[in-house]
Amino acid sequence: MQLTFLGTGGGAPSLQRNVTAIAFTHSPRGDTWLFDCGEGTQLQYMRSPLKPGRMNKIFITHLHGDHIFGLPGLLTSRSMGGITEPLTIYGPEGIKRFVDTALSLSGSYTDYPLEIVEIEAGPVLDDGEFRVSAWPLVHPLPCFGYRIEQHDKPGFLDAARLKEEGVPRGPWYQQLKAGARVTLEDGRVINGADYLGPATRGKTLAIFGDTAPTPTALQLAANVDLMVHEATLEAALQEKANGRGHSTTLQAAQVAKEAGAKRLIATHFSSRYLPRDMPRLLEECRSIFPDTELASDLAVFTL
């Protein structure tokens, strides 16, 4: 599983950073979910190894332009590229009206099934492999963070032991691997759970939208393997950041520390910061939470 940061700037793009978009790739064949879609996201997509046809879900944190202005172009280009796979967009109330209006007024359309789901706080989906839930944050517009939890993977089936005990191979092996009970032709009942090795714990990930400090953050990011949090401004500008519904470097790091996160990736930096400023921002984060990294455009992080 990998995160590719297609845009790491907040508010407006700069020569160093595009605005917010994060791709979560979660299968060997490249299946990808996109979190936010700021202006220019499709160009960043083309600069990355990601395949547009493998993107099947988009999660929007909130409706500020630096998180959604790339959507109409991405959706129509996906169609013009001949991609016919279905796509689902999840986001706050108003996301459907935004997409429908942009496509209608520009005479645009999609040749693939497009579903738009307006969400509230709570469970968003469970596809059998991942659970996704939305958590309300503190920002001038309704804004969510997303917690992604991978289901635990069953342990390996002990085929050698089954063979020793005279259990013949057959289609029931798949049921046994899932831990189910199977009745064989000779009447024996085999409990698959008795033949499985230890389960592999699923990964957990928290992707925050824009937010001022909030107690909800600790629940959203509780004990996650990887946490992505905005750090729009440096610690000295805390009042300015919080007044606009944003967090500082130190505040993002404090959330990671108190939530018990294993790793923090800070992103959504103000365009005031140039490359020479980044070591200072990283030092601020690491003074509170040492396992911090700063995102940069097209950087890839492995979970």
Closest CA to 284 of 230, 211, 235, 246: 235
Token couple for 49? 């190894």
Rounded CA separation 289/296 (Å): 19
Instruction: Confirm whether residue 151 is marked as ligand binding.
Output: no
Instruction: Confirm whether residue 268 is marked as ligand binding.
Output: yes
Helix ranges restricted to H, the chain: 41-47, 65-68, 71-80, 95-105, 159-164, 172-177, 216-220, 238-243, 249-259, 278-288
Instruction: Confirm whether residue 246 is marked as ligand binding.
Output: no
Strands 130-136 vs 144-150: parallel, antiparallel or unpaired: antiparallel
Phi-psi region of 200 (alpha: psi -120 to 50; beta: other; left: phi over 0): beta
Q: How far is CA 42 from CA 155, 249, 271, in A?
A: 39, 28, 20
Instruction: Confirm whether residue 210 is marked as ligand binding.
Output: yes
Token couple for 126? 């469970």
| Single-letter amino acid, residue 119 | I
What is residue 52's DSSP assignment?
Answer: G
Rounded CA separation 172/29 (Å): 27
Instruction: Confirm whether residue 139 is marked as ligand binding.
Output: yes
Q: Any idea which residues carry the catalytic annotation? A: 66
- Is the separation of the CB atoms in 48 and 4 below 8 Å? yes
Instruction: Confirm whether residue 229 is marked as ligand binding.
Output: no
Q: Which residues are annotated as a binding site for Zn(2+)?
A: 62, 64, 66-67, 139, 210, 268
